[in-house]
C-alpha cells in the first residue's frame, strides 16, 4: 500500500481540484460578503410580500443566495477535510457556518407567511407573475406542511428552543466522541495500550479470537459504565421527538419522520415485516459462519473477522479500471462520465496526515461532484470507490438535467445509485475469478455488506419504532427497557446460533443514528431497491436500464417512492424486499458449498 507523509507528496492527479470552485481566496471572500448583503436584502421582504411580483423577487433572490452559499460552504468544508489540522481552513468553515445562521434568521419569516396564505391567493400570485411557474411545485409542496406549521409567534418560540431540543444529541456526541475512554488491550509488543475506535475495527477482524474478545470487552466497558447517562440522553431525544410530533399535530413520531419524503408508514412496516418473514437465510448464515470459523459458540466478536485469509493488493489505477469494466452494463455515457471524474480531478484519493477519515460524495450544483477517499489499495477501497462514484454520477446527472430547485436528490434514494454499482462490481469480480479462495473472500465480503447495510439497519429501524411507541404510550424509557428491546431484537434477527455476551444488550448505547430518528431504514430500502434493479440490468432488461438512467437524472423532480416506481421498484409492496432477500439466500447457499 502506498503511504504519504504529507499531502504535498501526493501526485496532483490524485488530488481534487478546488480551483473549479474558487480560483483564489479573494473570490471566496467576495461571495461571502455578497451573501451577507443578499441576506440583509431578503430580510427586508418580511411583511412586504403582497403580490406575485414581490413573491417572485424574494424567491429569485433566495435561490441566487443559495447557489452562492453552497459554493462558499463546499469550498470551506473541502479545505478543512483535506487537512483538519489547518487552522486557517477551520476559520473559513466557522465563518461559513456563522453566515448560515444569519441566512436562516433572515428567511425564517417566510414559511409562516406562505402558509398563512390560502390556496386561491397563492394561485392568484402565480397567475400575476409568470416567473413564479418555476417555483410553483415547490410552493404547493410547502402547503403539505400547512397543518403542521404553527403561528408566527409559536414558530419563533420553537426556533429559540432549537438548541435546547438538540441538547440530548449534542450531549451524546460529546460523550461518544470526546469523553469516552476505552479500556486497555494488549499491544503487539505485549504491553497494555489504550484502545481507539480505529484499532477496534482492525482488532474485530483479527484472526486471534482472544484479541477480538479482549477488544470487544474493552470497547463496551465505558458504555456500560455510562449506561444510565446515555439512557437518559436517548430517552430525552425520543421524548423530544414524540413531543414535537404532538405539537405539530402528526399522528405519530414515525409519521412525522416519514412526512418529508411523503412515505406512508406502511412502507416502513412492510420493510420490517417482510424481512422478519424471510429471516431464515440470515439465521443460516450465522450457522455457516460458526462452522467456517470452527468455533463451538458464535459470539458477537466473531461477526467481523473475514472467513478467508485472502488479502488482495489492488492499486488505485487497477481499481479504477476494474470499476469501469464492471460498470460497462450501464452504457458508454456512464463509463465516459466515470473517466471524466478521474481525468478532471473530481476525486481526492490518498490518506494523508490530518485528512478526514472515511469517504463521501459532495455534489456542488453549477460545478461538479467532489469525492473524498482514503484509498488503501485493497478490496474494501475498490468497493468504496465504486460506491462513491455511484453517488457522484447521480449528483452530476441530476445537476445536468434538473434546474437548481430539483437537482438535489433525497437521502431516501441516495443509496440506490451507490449500491447498484457495488452489485455490478461484485458480479463482475465473481464472474471473472477462478481462484476458489478469492471467490470465498468476495462472497463473504458481499454477504457481510448485506448484513451491515440491510439486516442491521432494519433491526435498528424496529428498535426506533418500538421505543417511540413506548414513549407515546407514556411508558418509562430507561436502561432496562432499552436493554430488553435491543436484546430481544438481536436474538430475533441473529437466531439461536449466537451466544449472547452481557454487552450485546447494550448495543443501543453506542449508535449515533438513534439521535436522528427514522433515518436508518432508508439504508435498507435503498439497498433492497438497488439489488432489485442491478439484478434486472444484469439479466439484460433494457427497459429497466433506460428507466434507471432516467432515475439518475431526476434529482428530486418527484417524490422518492414515485421516482423508484418509474424504475419498476414499488416499495409499497413486499416484492423488492423479497427479491433482495432471495439474492441474499442464494449468496449464503453458494458460500456454504465452497
Question: Cα(393)–Cα(370) distance, rounded to whole angstroms?
Answer: 11
Residue 389 has pLDDT above 90, yes or no: yes
Q: Output Rg (C-alpha) for the chain, integer angstroms.
A: 25
Cβ proximity of 585 and 577 under 8 Å: no
pLDDT value for 406:
97
pLDDT > 70 fraction of the chain, expressed in percent and rounded: 100
Name residues whose C-beta falls within 8 Å of residue 401's C-beta, 6 or more positions apart in sequence. 553, 554, 555
pLDDT at 589 over 90: yes
Percent of the chain with pLDDT over 90: 84
pLDDT the model gives residue 188: 75
Give 429's pLDDT tier (boundaries 50, 70, 90): very high
For the stretch 131-183, pLDDT in tens is 999 999 999 999 899 889 887 788 778 878 877 888 999 899 889 888 888 98
- The cell for 72 is 462558499
Q: Indicate the burial class of 95 (C-beta count within 10 angstroms; 0-12, 13-18, 19 or more).
A: middle
**Beta-bridge partner residues of 142:** none
Which range, 109-113, 324-328, 373-377, is most confident? 324-328
Cell 481462484 sits at which residue? 435
pLDDT digits (tens, 9 = 90+) for 524-547: 999 999 999 999 999 999 999 999
| Closest to 300 in 3D by CA, of 186, 231, 227, 219 | 219
pLDDT at res. 533: 96
Neighbours of 571 (CB within 10 A): 25
pLDDT digits (tens, 9 = 90+) for 474-530: 999 999 999 999 999 999 999 999 999 999 999 999 999 999 999 999 999 999 999
Answer for the pair 568, 545: CB distance below 8 angstroms, yes or no: no
**Three-state secondary structure call for residue 531:** helix
- The pLDDT value recorded for residue 219 is 95
Q: Is the pLDDT of residue 573 over 80?
A: yes
In this model, does residue 324 exceed pLDDT 90?
yes
pLDDT value at residue 2? 74
CA distance 121 to 188: 72
pLDDT band at 302 (very low <50, low <70, confident <90, very high): very high
Give the long-range contacts of residues 248-253, CB within 8 A, separation 24 or more: 248/148, 248/149, 248/150, 249/147, 249/148, 250/148, 252/468, 252/472, 253/468, 253/471, 253/472, 253/517, 253/518
Strand partners, 361: 371
- Give the residue among 465, 451, 436, 219 at the shortest CA–CA distance from 309: 436
**8 A C-beta contact, residue 49 and residue 122:** no
The CA-based angle 526-528-532, given to 5 degrees, is 115
Would you give the distance in Å from CA 140 to the centre of its chain? 28
C-alpha cell at 563: 421516482
Q: Which SS3 state, helix, strand or coil, does residue 120 take?
A: helix
Residue 362 main-chain phi, psi, to 5 deg: -125, 110
Cα gap 578→46, rounded to integer Å: 51
Would you say 371 and 348 are in contact if contact means Cβ atoms under 8 Å apart?
A: yes
More confident site: 187 or 344: 344
Question: How far is CA 66 from each of CA 35, 38, 42, 112, 364, rounded to the nearest angstrom?
Answer: 9, 10, 12, 20, 11
Average pLDDT over the chain, rounded to whole? 94
Mean pLDDT of 63-81: 97
In the predicted model, what is the mean pLDDT of residues 552-578? 97
pLDDT of residue 493: 97
Distance CA 589, CA 594 (A): 9
Over residues 230-237, the mean pLDDT reads 98
Residues 6+ apart with CB under 8 A from 155: 108, 111, 112, 149
Compute the average pLDDT of residues 121-131: 96
Quote the cell numbers at residue 377. 489499495
pLDDT the model gives residue 364: 98
Mean pLDDT of 554-579: 96
Residues labelled catalytic: 388
- The one-character DSSP state at 498 is B
Rounded Cα–Cα distance for residues 360 and 375 (Å): 12
What is the reported pLDDT for 310? Answer: 83
Cβ atoms of residues 388 and 371 within 8 Å: yes
> For residue 372, what are the β-bridge partners?
348, 360
Quick: pLDDT tens for 240-263: 999 999 999 999 999 999 999 999
For 45-63, what is each residue's pLDDT tens digit?
Answer: 999 999 999 999 999 999 9
pLDDT of residue 3: 78
What is this structure's pTM?
A: 0.90
Quote the pLDDT of residue 459.
98
Strand pairing category for 360-363 and 347-350: unpaired
Average the pLDDT over 188-210 and give the result.
Answer: 87
- Whether 32 shows a pLDDT value over 80: the answer reads yes
Domains and CATH numbers, the chain: 7-165 (1.20.140.70)
Amino acid at each position: 500500500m502506498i503511504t504519504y507523509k504529507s499531502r504535498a507528496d501526493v501526485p496532483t492527479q490524485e488530488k481534487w481540484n478546488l480551483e473549479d470552485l474558487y480560483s483564489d481566496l479573494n473570490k471566496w471572500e467576495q461571495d461571502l460578503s455578497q451573501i451577507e448583503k443578499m441576506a440583509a436584502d431578503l430580510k427586508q421582504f418580511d411583511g412586504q410580500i403582497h403580490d406575485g411580483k414581490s413573491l417572485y423577487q424574494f424567491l429569485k433572490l433566495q435561490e441566487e443566495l443559495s447557489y452562492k452559499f453552497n459554493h462558499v460552504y463546499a469550498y470551506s468544508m473541502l479545505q478543512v477535510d483535506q487537512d483538519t489540522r489547518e487552522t486557517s481552513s477551520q476559520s473559513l468553515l466557522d465563518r461559513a457556518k456563522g453566515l448560515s445562521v444569519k441566512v436562516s434568521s433572515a428567511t425564517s419569516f417566510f414559511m409562516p407567511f406562505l402558509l398563512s396564505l390560502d390556496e386561491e391567493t397563492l394561485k392568484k400570485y402565480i397567475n400575476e407573475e409568470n416567473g413564479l411557474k418555476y417555483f410553483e411545485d415547490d410552493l404547493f409542496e410547502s402547503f403539505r406542511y400547512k397543518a403542521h406549521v404553527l403561528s408566527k409567534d409559536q414558530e419563533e418560540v420553537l426556533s429559540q428552543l432549537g438548541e435546547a431540543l438538540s441538547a440530548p444529541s449534542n450531549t451524546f456526541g460529546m460523550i461518544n466522541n470526546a469523553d469516552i475512554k476505552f479500556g486497555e488491550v494488549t499491544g503487539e509488543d505485549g504491553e497494555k495500550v489504550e484502545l481507539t475506535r480505529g484499532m477496534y475495527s482492525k482488532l474485530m477482524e483479527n484472526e486471534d479470537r482472544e484479541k477480538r474478545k479482549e477488544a470487544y470487552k474493552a470497547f463496551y466497558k465505558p458504555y456500560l459504565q455510562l449506561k444510565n447517562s446515555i439512557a437518559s440522553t436517548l430517552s430525552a431525544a425520543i421524548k423530544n421527538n414524540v413531543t414535537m410530533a404532538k405539537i405539530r399535530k402528526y399522528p405519530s413520531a414515525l409519521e412525522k419522520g416519514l412526512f418529508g419524503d411523503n412515505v406512508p408508514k406502511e412502507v416502513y412496516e412492510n420493510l420490517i415485516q417482510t424481512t422478519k418473514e424471510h429471516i431464515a437465510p440470515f439465521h443460516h448464515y450465522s450457522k455457516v459462519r460458526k462452522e467456517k470459523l470452527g468455533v463451538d459458540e458464535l459470539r458477537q466478536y466473531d461477526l467481523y473477522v473475514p472467513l478467508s485469509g485472502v488479502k488482495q493488493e489492488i492499486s488505485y489505477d487497477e481499481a479504477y479500471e476494474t470499476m469501469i469494466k464492471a460498470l460497462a452494463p450501464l452504457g458508454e455515457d456512464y463509463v465516459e462520465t466515470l473517466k471524466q471524474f478521474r481525468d478532471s480531478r473530481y476525486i481526492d484519493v490518498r490518506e494523508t496526515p490530518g485528512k478526514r477519515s472515511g469517504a463521501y460524495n459532495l455534489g456542488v450544483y453549477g460545478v461538479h461532484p467532489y469525492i473524498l477517499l482514503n484509498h488503501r489499495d485493497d478490496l474494501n477501497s475498490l468497493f468504496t470507490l465504486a460506491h462513491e462514484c455511484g453517488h457522484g454520477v447521480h449528483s452530476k446527472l441530476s445537476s445536468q438535467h434538473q434546474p437548481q430547485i430539483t437537482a438535489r436528490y433525497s437521502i431516501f434514494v441516495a443509496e440506490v445509485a451507490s449500491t447498484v454499482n457495488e452489485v455490478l462490481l461484485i458480479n463482475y469480480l465473481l464472474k471473472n475469478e477462478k481462484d476458489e479462495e478469492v471467490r470465498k473472500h468476495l462472497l463473504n465480503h458481499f454477504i457481510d455488506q448485506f448484513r451491515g447495510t440491510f439486516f442491521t439497519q432494519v433491526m435498528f429501524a424496529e428498535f426506533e419504532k418500538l421505543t417511540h411507541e413506548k414513549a407515546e404510550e407514556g411508558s418509562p424509557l430507561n436502561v432496562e427497557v432499552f436493554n430488553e428491546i435491543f436484546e430481544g431484537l438481536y436474538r430475533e434477527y441473529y437466531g439461536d446460533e449466537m451466544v449472547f455476551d452481557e454487552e450485546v444488550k447494550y448495543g443501543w448505547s453506542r449508535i449515533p443514528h438513534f439521535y436522528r430518528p427514522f433515518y436508518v431504514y432508508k439504508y435498507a430500502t435503498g439497498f433492497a431497491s438497488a439489488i432489485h434493479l442491478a439484478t434486472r440490468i444484469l439479466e439484460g432488461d433494457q427497459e429497466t436500464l433506460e428507466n434507471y438512467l432516467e432515475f439518475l437524472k431526476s434529482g428530486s423532480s418527484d417524490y422518492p417512492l414515485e421516482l423508484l416506481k418509474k424504475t419498476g421498484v414499488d416499495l409499497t409492496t413486499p416484492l423488492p424486499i423479497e427479491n433482495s432477500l432471495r439474492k441474499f439466500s442464494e449468496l449464503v447457499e453458494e458460500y456454504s458449498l465452497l
